[in-house]
Structure 1
Amino acid sequence: MRTRARTAGVAADLDTGAAADRPRRLHADSGLPDRLFRGVAHGGGGLVLAVMLLVGGFLTYRAWQALRVAKWHFLTTAEWQPDARNFGIAAVIVGTVLIAGVAVVIAVPLAIGTALYISEYAPQRLRRPLVSTIDLMAAVPSVIYGLWGLFFLQGKVIGLSRWLSTYFGWIPLFKVTDADPHDPLATATVYTASTFIAGIVVAMMVTPIICSVIREVFSQAPVGEREGAYALGATRWGVIRSVVLPFGKGGMIGGTMLGLGRALGETIGVYMIISPVFAVQPHILQAGTSSVSSLIALQYGEASKFGMSALMAAGLALFLMTLVVNFAASTIVARSRSGATAE
């Protein structure tokens, strides 16, 4: 009996000890201000998501009539005659992608170079004015860039367009079908209102956005790794190449895709430059192109009820494109070292 009692007591002590060794769930009262902030943050995120869903639902509802008629031909037809039931976005999608591509090719090297200069080379007294100037460029209205491109840039770029078509016209992208580059008296109008000029204008609009993202990422490069590279005898460019650029890779890709999303949806600046052509136009130096946003701006005022539904369908396609690009950008940034550090 004593042995059984002793065994039972030992077992009870072990159970009590095991219960005491279990980790307890801690609860800390964060306080009313923290709870309010958390609620406002969650509410803001939910509101943004709700607005996005409402915009997508509205566009889908208004575009359903046209999509039901066009079906999958809406993505492959290059004509735009909605009242004749012959319409599609093949031509304008090509123009949109080409304009955005030209803009990104020009803007990304400029943005990376500017961001590196501000974060690594610029004297301290110049950094704040340069950052303010870049932020001011992002706030300039699109119509100002459009006027600048129409009345100033277009005349200056014709010579470059002629040179590119003369020496690189064997590349289909730089070919101009209606021009003789060896004729000095040939008209220059074939080089105006082109994808190339519109892309340069859009590049000036998206460069501040890309530069701001990349500069912020470069400034977060680990100080310890910088100092370690200097201690091993690296030059400033060696530190940039071995520490700053690898750390900011995700930010560079994410900033580029955010700028691409802005370039895809640009309207007024492109509308003021291009000469609308509703055909697949793959030659970026040749006059005439179109984009989804400029199509909507051009046709909105005189569209019939069915034509308005077709325009809503084009807007829905552009909405989905920019949404995919922005989600991809946020995913890349979040998975990078810089994005993980920011979180």
Structure 2
Amino acid sequence: MSEAMASLSASTAGVKRRDGATGDRIFYWMVFGCGLFVLAALLAAAISMAWGGALAFRTFGFGFLYGTEWDPVAQQFAGLVPIYGTLVTSALAMIIGVPISLGIAVFVTEVAPRWLRGPIGGAIELLAGIPSIIYGMWGLFTFAPFMSDYVQPALIDWLGPLPVIGLLFTGAPLGIGMLTSGIVLAIMIIPYISSVMRDVFLVVPAPLKESAYALGSTKWEVVRDIVIPHTRTAVVGGIFLGLGRALGETMAVTFVLGNTHNIAVSLMEPGNSIAAAIANEFTEADTDIYLSSLIALGFILFVVTFIVLAAAKIMLLRIARQKGE
């Protein structure tokens, strides 16, 4: 009787192992397919844009990357102006947004009383959830007049006469332009960057900070020497997440950038960006070369974003290697 029971138990265990192995294989192929879907979607997007922009690249060659002419009437197109505008506005957004995001995250996690952390955290989430077109409308109807009446005249008067740096602050106070677009973009990316920083700052082990305080460190020293070094990988990742959002933003920039195809050193001057050019002119593209040029701009934006995110990944790997992870 005992031998029969043992044989039955062994048989049951074998069936369970086979069932478990089958289920594990099914699970593996399911998640493997999900992973491949991401790569397939990325590759399909790149190929479709490269195919759509092939006519423009064949017609204008490498001149499409460094030319400044954009004339739909003469069917002459080049992408340097929107590329320049995309990079400048994104750089301005990062210069303004990253320090403010860091300050918000440090305040919420290290300085603010507990009763204030909740409302500030909720406000950050609300800012992140506002549609970009709302930012654009606010920028055009409220922020641009404020810039034109108060901020830009002061910058032109105070900084315009300075050597070298004054070139960035010359021109007429139009309200719209590179500077306004950069500030609006900074407001848009601050919630994303500060949310990431806040979340990673909260997971810093308390004994590390308490030990630093016990040795006489100030809050500033704890943040500088403990919190930021411990979370720098995630902090850099959050910064590049915000940069990716800034590079691809469309509607908010379209409202306040000015949408003119010219390159100007002054931040007061209007300009154009890749996303804004596509949004404004896609419905007006009545010829194959016009449409292909817009798609080619989209492919260039894809490549620029890919390079930025790839550089971020390489940087994160180096940081992790230095930390011995």
State the TM-score, normalized to the length of structure 1: 0.80
Q: Judging changes above 3 Å, is the alpha-carbon distance between structure 1 residues 174 and 129 closer, same or farther for their aligned structure 2 residues?
A: same
Give me the whole-angstrom Cα distance separating, in 1, the residues matched to 2:166 and 2:65: 23
Q: Judging changes above 3 Å, is the alpha-carbon distance between structure 1 residues 213 and 35 closer, same or farther for their aligned structure 2 residues?
A: farther
CA RMSD of aligned residues (A): 2.6
Q: Please tell me whether the aligned partners of residues 248 and 337 of structure 1 are also in contact (alpha carbons under 8 angstroms).
A: no
- Give the corresponding residue for 2:168: 174
Query: Would you say 1:103 and 2:93 are equivalent positions?
Result: yes
- Give the corresponding residue for 1:139: 129
Give me the whole-angstrom Cα distance separating, in 2, the residues matched to 1:339 and 1:127: 33
- Give the corresponding residue for 2:154: 163
Give me the whole-angstrom Cα distance separating, in 2, the residues matched to 1:289 and 1:281: 8
- Give the corresponding residue for 2:213: 230
User: Which amino acid in 2 is paired with 1:114?
Assistant: I
| Matched residue SS, 1:84 | coil
Query: Would you say 1:292 and 2:274 are equivalent positions?
Result: yes
Q: Please tell me whether the aligned partners of residues 251 and 339 of structure 1 are also in contact (alpha carbons under 8 angstroms).
A: no
Give me the whole-angstrom Cα distance separating, in 1, the residues matched to 2:68 and 2:306: 23
**Aligned 1:302-341 pairs, distance under 5 A:** 302-303=284-285, 304-336=287-319
Give me the whole-angstrom Cα distance separating, in 1, the residues matched to 2:20 and 2:210: 38
- Gaps of at least 5 residues in structure 1 are 1-28, 180-189
Q: Judging changes above 3 Å, is the alpha-carbon distance between structure 1 residues 121 and 35 closer, same or farther for their aligned structure 2 residues?
A: farther
Q: Please tell me whether the aligned partners of residues 75 and 290 of structure 2 are also in contact (alpha carbons under 8 angstroms).
A: no
Give me the whole-angstrom Cα distance separating, in 1, the residues matched to 2:209 and 2:53: 54
Q: Please tell me whether the aligned partners of residues 75 and 289 of structure 2 are also in contact (alpha carbons under 8 angstroms).
A: no
Q: 2:235 aligns with which of 252, 269, 272?
A: 252
Give the Å deviation of 1:329.
Answer: 2.4
Q: Please tell me whether the aligned partners of residues 251 and 338 of structure 1 are also in contact (alpha carbons under 8 angstroms).
A: no
Give the Å deviation of 1:208.
Answer: 0.9
Q: Please tell me whether the aligned partners of residues 77 and 88 of structure 1 are also in contact (alpha carbons under 8 angstroms).
A: yes
| Matched residue SS, 1:95 | helix
- Give the corresponding residue for 1:150: 140
In the TM superposition, what whole-angstrom CA distance separates every residue of 1:221-241 from its partner, at most 9, and x where no partner exists?
A: 233322321221212222112
Q: Judging changes above 3 Å, is the alpha-carbon distance between structure 1 residues 40 and 119 closer, same or farther for their aligned structure 2 residues?
A: farther
Give the Å deviation of 1:76.
Answer: 0.9
User: Which amino acid in 1 is paired with 2:89?
Assistant: I
**Aligned 1:9-158 pairs, distance under 5 A:** 38-81=28-71, 84-158=74-148
Give me the whole-angstrom Cα distance separating, in 2, the residues matched to 1:50 and 1:339: 33
- Give the corresponding residue for 1:212: 195
Q: Please tell me whether the aligned partners of residues 194 and 284 of structure 1 are also in contact (alpha carbons under 8 angstroms).
A: yes
Give me the whole-angstrom Cα distance separating, in 1, the residues matched to 2:240 and 2:158: 31
Q: Which moved more, 1:157-166 or 1:222-231?
A: 222-231
Q: Judging changes above 3 Å, is the alpha-carbon distance between structure 1 residues 85 and 120 closer, same or farther for their aligned structure 2 residues?
A: same
Give the Å deviation of 1:325.
Answer: 1.4
Q: Which moved more, 1:70-79 or 1:274-283?
A: 274-283
Higher Cα Rg, which structure: 1
Give the Å deviation of 1:115.
Answer: 0.7
- Gaps of at least 5 residues in structure 2 are 1-18
User: Among the aligned pairs, what percent are the same residue?
Assistant: 35
Q: Judging changes above 3 Å, is the alpha-carbon distance between structure 1 residues 37 and 318 closer, same or farther for their aligned structure 2 residues?
A: same
- Give the corresponding residue for 2:244: 261
Give me the whole-angstrom Cα distance separating, in 1, the residues matched to 2:151 and 2:231: 33
Task: Tell me how many residue pairs correspond in the alignment.
Answer: 303
In the TM superposition, what whole-angstrom CA distance separates every residue of 1:53-95 from its partner, at most 9, and x where no partner exists?
A: 0000000011101100111001111111256342111111111
Q: Judging changes above 3 Å, is the alpha-carbon distance between structure 1 residues 331 and 134 closer, same or farther for their aligned structure 2 residues?
A: farther
Give the Å deviation of 1:111.
Answer: 0.6
Give me the whole-angstrom Cα distance separating, in 1, the residues matched to 2:27 and 2:102: 35
Q: Judging changes above 3 Å, is the alpha-carbon distance between structure 1 residues 64 and 232 closer, same or farther for their aligned structure 2 residues?
A: same
Give the Å deviation of 1:35.
Answer: 5.8
Q: Please tell me whether the aligned partners of residues 217 and 248 of structure 1 are also in contact (alpha carbons under 8 angstroms).
A: yes
- Give the corresponding residue for 2:7: none
Q: Judging changes above 3 Å, is the alpha-carbon distance between structure 1 residues 90 and 247 closer, same or farther for their aligned structure 2 residues?
A: same
Q: Which moved more, 1:237-246 or 1:292-301?
A: 237-246
Q: Please tell me whether the aligned partners of residues 236 and 312 of structure 2 are also in contact (alpha carbons under 8 angstroms).
A: yes
Q: 1:202 aligns with which of 181, 185, 192?
A: 185
Q: Please tell me whether the aligned partners of residues 333 and 339 of structure 1 are also in contact (alpha carbons under 8 angstroms).
A: no
State the TM-score, normalized to the length of structure 2: 0.85
Q: Please tell me whether the aligned partners of residues 250 and 338 of structure 1 are also in contact (alpha carbons under 8 angstroms).
A: no
Give me the whole-angstrom Cα distance separating, in 1, the residues matched to 2:279 and 2:38: 26
Give the Å deviation of 1:248.
Answer: 2.7
